[in-house]
Structure 1
Amino acid sequence: MLSRITQRQLEYFVASGEAGSIQGASERIHVSSPSISAAITHIESELGVQLFVRHHAQGISLTLIGREIVKEAKTILDQMTNLYTIASESLNTVRGPLRVGCMSSLAPMLTPELVFGFGRAFPGVRISQAEGDHEELLSRLRNAEVDIVLTYDLASSDDIEFHPLARLPPYVMVGEHHPLANLSAVTMNDLETHPMVLLDIPCSRDYFLSLFRQAGVTPNIVMRSSNLEVIRAMVANGVGYSIANVRPKANLSQDGKRLIRVRLAGDHQSLRLGYVTLKNVQLSRVVSTFAERCRMFVSEQYIPGMAAPSFFDPHTVRSLKGVA
């Protein structure tokens, strides 16, 4: 069974065809070149055809079948625009309250575009938002205090349903003067002797520590915080490294110091970003429409407020003792 081709991926493909290069498309639509390349590779894999001829240092050109598919892709994108136009003419059909729960570490990045953008698109919707850790938000969902929760697949339960949207692999976060800052990748063994700053919130804490257990490594935890921005500030100020999954677009702590992301080599479990609803509960039109927005706006090529995730080949392992 084929997996879906998203609207975003089609947009990246069309932009590349029109620009004649991935770099040109990147500059035109303000999306990173690796994200555009990944989208094109995904579409080629799904359709089983080659869309572009790659010319070394001279951009790309559409194949014969690529030219036909780019025409169809433009038609599909135009039709999707028409769908939004029709929906905008019937805004009064999507009205009422929407109570969204979001993990505190995700909220500053996800909610401006995903949640409040929904409110701008549907002015008849009354939005309220709650932040907290995974356990707090699931408790609020069960108590009917929120309708839907944006979170990770940190814990399963018979009464909730998790809808995955994108994988977020772990990476190492260091300050710009840290000994690991100039490496392209590190292993868990490389981290063992370095001081660590741990994001200490329920479920997330267990996930981070499980990465060390699986590698047979004991982390040297020197500081903890339940606030991601405090973690980033401590890392930027040289207290230690940390491991994270979210990738804020800004590589600065709130006090203006630079942060470096280093790939974590090896085969590590990614966190899956998604939304949670209660099982066997009929979703209101407002909630189901918001859930559809989440599915359309979030993918592994594009996550609102974040840099796109980077997936590491587990067979390419570099250590502190090896080549940077």
Structure 2
Amino acid sequence: MGKERRLLTLVICLVLGGGLTAAVLGATRAAGPHAGAAAGAPAPSDYVDIRDVPPVPAVTPARPAAAGEGSPGSMVVDCGRNEGRHYNEDNLVVSPGLRAGAHHTHSYVGNLSTDAMSTEASLAAAATSCAGGDRSTYYWPVLRRPDRPGTRPHETSAGHGNTGEIVPEASVRVEFRGNPVSKVVAMPPFLHAMTGDAVALTAGGDANVRARWGCSGSPDRATTSYPRCPEGDRVTRSLVFPSCWNGLDTASAGHRSHLLFPGGNGVCPTNTFPVPELRISLAYEVPTGAPVAIDSFPEQRHSPRTDHAMFVNAMTDRQMAAVVECLNGGRSCRT
């Protein structure tokens, strides 16, 4: 009788143990690549040694459809690198009028007044960090060192799992480029634009993932992961905006249908027109091996694939005309 009881107990333990193991494994699989990550931290799989990233093959520039039809110029707009620490948790493009609507902190260059309550009139009247007087606003999620406690505003008060010391931008490059097959037309005043996907981790696909990460010493390598860079290199982020405008709207539901990306050959989709293509390039001084994390919504777990940026055009007609003339004329300009 005693042997039978012991055998029954052993069978029950095995059944319960197997069920518990299956439950744990099921939960781990459901959690995906972020399983095992500390709360509020990126997963180990979010990082990659830049030396393990294959170089991007050289791309032959697209030929203009006919002589003189392309717009091969570029215009760099010198807006500093947010030396004034212009930060907030607002998002004028996605959630205008809603304080802290972003649920994470953004870093800005350009218009010094930008927040959730900004209007066309307030943007047009504000001061700017751009040397040439461009009052447009350019912004993106801050980059943090989650291993170091923050002591400044937007570090100690940051919510939604976005904590840690903010890493300041070592350089910010705001550049407009033309289109390889067409002349560009002027952006309309107060055009709203967004690139990237702030919910890429849970979106079920990478269709809107646009940001590329890298290291300053390996400009031919780009990744959607956080790069581990050799000593002396800067961590880089590059964000390219859509540049095919529908000719009608300055904003749209979902923030994507009024501005589209051109095809790989540079041709804009039907019923859209090429406007100057905005590229924002960021660089950071990060010690080799130090963890980094961009601000994100809590469920996005600081995935590097969720990187994104926003832009509101507040150039004057004269300033925008100068950009268009530079690009269509094939010149390299700076303001």
Q: TM-score normalised to the size of structure 2?
A: 0.21
Q: Select the structure of larger CA radius of gyration.
A: 2
Q: TM-score normalised to the size of structure 1?
A: 0.21
